[in-house]
Amino acid sequence: MNFDEIRLQIAGFQKCIMLPIIGAGFFLTFFSLLRRHRLVYTRAMDNIADTIWLEINLGAIRRNVQRLAQISGKPVMAVVKANAYGHGLINVSRAVLKEGVNRLCVARFEEANVLRMAGIDAPILVLGFTSPEHAVEAARLNIGLTVYRNQTAAQYAEVMAGEKNSLKLHVKVDTGMGRLGLFPEEAPAFVMQLRLKKNLVVEGLFTHFACADEIQTKTTEMQLSKFNKVISELESGGFRPAIIHAANSAAALKYPEAAFDAIRPGIAIYGLDPSDEVPLPAEFEPALAWKTRLTSLKVLPPGSGIGYNCRYVTTKKERIGACAVGYADGLRRRLGNIAILRGKRISQVGGMCMDQSMYQLDGVPEAQAGDEVVLLGQQGEERISAEEIGRSWDTNNYEVVCGLTARVPRYYIDE
């Protein structure tokens, strides 16, 4: 074999090896892109095999963001902490960023990290405390942190001193929430000191309202006045942080003067009322529906006990159905939960189990095992809202949706 023949053989061998490798590369990239968007459907699905699931309409979330931007006339920093109030951190974040949201807010550094790992590169602000151990990584990942203590500020400065990146900080002022934040009197000097530190950038200044969701306005007005005083003092010292923000959903709706440079809404993005006293305007749309299936249906004789400790006993021949939802999915372990089956309200009977709950179905004779049951959302003319569930659990809609656990599959539509 001469030299040219050997070269031809090697080239042929390379083609044999390389073409399948390149082909496999394209194939994997294509399917990983599909997988990433796997759960985003373009229209409602009616053929889900799961026994429990959430349907989240990203279209509603996008339109709610547009409405908030229109009402306030200011950029929206979307609060997506706690898995986007149960709606799903990554898909919700991608949807709101498409709508022009310019910053995502989370409670913890770990949540910000999850966003970065998902390839989301928009500015992020961590609203809670972040250990100085994460400061260098936060700066590298362009994750802004909240600061409100001298000791933490000094520790951030120390770990950042030799770094090539800068750490962006938002200083929090406690104007009346009694939670995180400097006293208003301390804030101006704290900010000025912080500005002197190498590799620390004071990007923002913010406060949080305790009572913006109430009819009374006195507390919010007092908080606003304290916050404005801090801003004036800073300005007279020659400095104004680039992003001053205060308004949660209720304040964004009710106090235009609290919008400053950006609003910071959470609950309204998901189409849920800040409170009974400050409900959303009618055009906002709830984005989430919670559904399960009737996994058993039987007629039990009188005197049959239902569930642990037989807390319900049939008084006659009764149709009792079981659904695949329990307290490990986010339903409360209490009597009297309700749901909708074939467009009619049904009542839970007996003690709730971890993965199942039982319903009295005498009022729905046409029901069949396998039927879809709505726990939150609309079916036919009937609707159960997160607000209604919250009231019946003696809590609010926030806790209902944040309590939806990770094992419940989330399906996304965009319509």
Ligand X SMILES: Cc1ncc(COP(=O)(O)O)c(C=O)c1O
Q: Enumerate binding residues for ligand X (CB under 6 A).
A: 79, 127, 208, 248-249, 264-268, 274
Taking the complex as a whole, how short is the minimal distance between the CB of residue 15 and ligand X, in angstroms? 58
Taking the complex as a whole, how short is the minimal distance between the CB of residue 310 and ligand X, in angstroms? 41
Taking the complex as a whole, how short is the minimal distance between the CB of residue 138 and ligand X, in angstroms? 18
Selected catalytic residue, list 41, 81, 172, 198: 81
Q: Measured on CA atoms in the order 18, 22, 27, 31, is the torsion positive or negative?
A: positive
Q: Indicate the residue among 87 and 208 with the shorter CB distance to ligand X.
A: 208
Selected catalytic residue, list 15, 198, 308, 317: 308
Taking the complex as a whole, how short is the minimal distance between the CB of residue 387 and ligand X, in angstroms? 14
Q: Indicate the residue among 64 and 348 with the shorter CB distance to ligand X.
A: 64
Position closest to ligand X via CB: 266
Active site residue 308: yes
Q: Indicate the residue among 275 and 314 with the shorter CB distance to ligand X.
A: 275
Q: Indicate the residue among 263 and 374 with the shorter CB distance to ligand X.
A: 263
Taking the complex as a whole, how short is the minimal distance between the CB of residue 266 and ligand X, in angstroms? 3
Taking the complex as a whole, how short is the minimal distance between the CB of residue 252 and ligand X, in angstroms? 7
- Count how many residues are written for the chain: 415
Q: Indicate the residue among 79 and 361 with the shorter CB distance to ligand X.
A: 79
Q: Indicate the residue among 209 and 290 with the shorter CB distance to ligand X.
A: 209
Active site residues: 81, 308
